[in-house]
């Protein structure tokens, strides 16, 4: 089967009115990725070399988004919504290229597994003309039933047309199917619209193929694989299932999740073995964590690279461009953005490091900030190896602190500090005996007078 070519036709033209959103339904995200992109990834993992997206509502936005996750995909607009077969035939130009297999999928089923698609393709390789993917929902009410005889699928019966015996069938239509490319257009063109809605139903090709003496079979996927998304409640349900799968996968690959149900991954999170993740950690898109790291509770990480044996959090925020090298530490209530924290460097408490390099072994004291933005442009701060930045210091970029430089606490640094130099950047302290008591008495008297005046007004 590996040598067979495959086209995935993904139907993504639905308006999704039940989502109550201006955004096309299939662009709503699961794990930081549009749900239609999950479908594309599953198709590609099942061996699809071509992707045809059938779009409608929000076509321009769909094309723009698709260019990011499926740059080679062809897009076809379904001008009028006249049924599922009508939608598939909108991709006629792609289907006619002569692929061995055609997978028909829906853009709102983000949990579909590549294995379920591969199983359907395997049936085509074994000689079937059509392989329909079915599933067994907890309650089959409302679903079309798959009617089988002697191991062959003879019909997909909508519930309203089912006999009492057929209504008891628990094997239902998931909507997705694989069709042999040699028969696809002929079968689709034979679908009529003589029904109550006057629409062209994809499910009709089952009986059409059977009438032509072609082999039609059903394969089975899990209920989760077939879950379609129509509203935000179902979107949240799908997110929960995806996260549960990913957590399980991470733990089996050697990652310790102390409270798995509280950790959230993105679609592209990479996390190495022997990493420990404490409760309530959120991984946004673009995060790579090497082995042996420790991510403490309540940390928020996106677009960041974390090397082996790093220590992050608790309550740390790593923003895009944060690059922590081996054994670096970013502690509680620290934020790092577009900055390299080199090997063994420590950013321990209440600190902001942005557009910067912190050299190997450097220590950044509590309350330190890099002042990287003047309201118009960003500027770079370079902190050398082994430097010590005292607490509550402000480093006004662009500025360089040399290797081994020492910044006194409370300093505002605006000029280059040479290697091994000590820099002060603060006003000299002045102490006036008794002045504190005088100020308290003055402030107390003023407050009392204000209160008395307010009472007189009433």
> 355: alpha, beta or left, given left = phi > 0 and alpha = psi -120 to 50?
left
Helix (H, G, I), strand (E, B) or coil at 60: helix
Asked if residue 368 lies in contact with residue 395, where contact means CB atoms within 8 angstroms, the answer is yes
Question: Which contiguous run of DSSP H or E holds residue 166?
Answer: helix 164-167
Q: Provide the token pair at 123.
A: 């049936």
- Report, in angstroms and rounded to the nearest whole number, the Rg of the chain calculated over CA atoms: 31
Sign of CA dihedral 161, 162, 167, 171: negative
How many other C-beta atoms can be found within 10 angstroms of the C-beta atom of residue 293?
24
How many other C-beta atoms can be found within 10 angstroms of the C-beta atom of residue 415?
9
Cis peptide before 23 (omega within 30 of 0): no
Q: How many CA atoms lie within 13 A of 456 on its CB side?
A: 6
Given the residues 86, 183, 349, 458, the one annotated as active site: 349
Asked if residue 51 lies in contact with residue 45, where contact means CB atoms within 8 angstroms, the answer is no
Asked if residue 270 lies in contact with residue 58, where contact means CB atoms within 8 angstroms, the answer is no
Q: Provide the token pair at 441.
A: 């008495």
Question: Which contiguous run of DSSP H or E holds residue 318?
Answer: strand 317-318
248 is catalytic: no
Catalytic residue positions, numbered:
349
């Amino acid at each position: 089967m590996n040598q067979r070519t495959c086209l995935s036709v993904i139907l993504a033209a639905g308006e999704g009115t039940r989502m109550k959103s201006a955004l096309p339904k299939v662009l709503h995200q699961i794990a930081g990725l549009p749900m239609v992109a999950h479908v594309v990834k599953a198709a590609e993992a099942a061996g699809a070399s071509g992707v045809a997206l059938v779009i409608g509502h929000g076509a321009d936005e769909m094309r723009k988004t698709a260019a990011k996750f499926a740059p080679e995909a062809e897009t076809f607009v379904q001008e009028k919504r006249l049924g599922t077969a009508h939608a598939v035939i909108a991709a006629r130009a792609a289907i006619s290229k002569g692929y061995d297999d055609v997978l028909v999928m829906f853009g709102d089923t983000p949990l579909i597994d590549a294995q379920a698609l591969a199983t359907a393709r395997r049936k085509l390789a074994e000689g079937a003309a059509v392989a329909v993917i079915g599933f067994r929902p907890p309650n089959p009410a409302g679903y079309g039933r798959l009617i089988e005889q002697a191991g062959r699928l003879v019909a997909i019966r909508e519930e309203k047309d089912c006999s009492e015996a057929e209504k008891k069938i628990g094997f239902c239509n998931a909507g997705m199917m694989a069709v042999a490319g040699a028969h696809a257009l002929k079968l689709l063109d034979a679908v009529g619209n003589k029904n109550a809605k006057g629409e062209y139903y994809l499910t009709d090709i089952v009986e059409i193929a059977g009438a032509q003496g072609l082999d039609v079979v059903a394969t089975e996927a899990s209920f989760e694989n077939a879950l379609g998304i129509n509203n935000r409640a179902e979107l949240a349900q799908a997110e929960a299932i995806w996260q549960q799968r990913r957590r399980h996968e991470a733990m089996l690959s050697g990652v310790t999740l102390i409270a798995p149900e509280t950790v959230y991954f993105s679609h592209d999170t990479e996390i190495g073995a022997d990493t420990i993740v404490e409760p309530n950690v959120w991984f946004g898109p673009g995060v790579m964590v090497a082995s042996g790291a420790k991510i403490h509770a309540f940390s928020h990480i996106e677009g960041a690279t974390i090397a082996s044996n790093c220590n992050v959090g608790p309550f740390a925020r790593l923003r895009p461009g944060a690059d922590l090298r081996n054994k670096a530490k970013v502690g509680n209530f620290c934020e790092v953005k577009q900055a390299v924290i080199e090997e063994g460097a420590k950013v321990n408490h209440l600190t902001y490091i942005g557009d910067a390099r912190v050299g190997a072994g450097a220590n950044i004291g509590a309350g330190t900030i890099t002042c990287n933005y003047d309201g118009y442009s960003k500027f770079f701060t370079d902190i050398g190896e082994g430097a010590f930045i005292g607490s509550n210091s402000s480093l006004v970029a662009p500025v360089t602190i040399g290797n081994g430089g020492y910044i006194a606490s409370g300093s505002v640094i605006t000029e280059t500090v040479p290697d091994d130099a000590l820099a002060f950047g603060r006003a000299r302290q002045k102490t006036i005996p008794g002045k504190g008591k005088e100020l308290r008495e003055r402030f107390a008297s003023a407050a009392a007078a204000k209160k008395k005046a307010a009472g007189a007004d009433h």
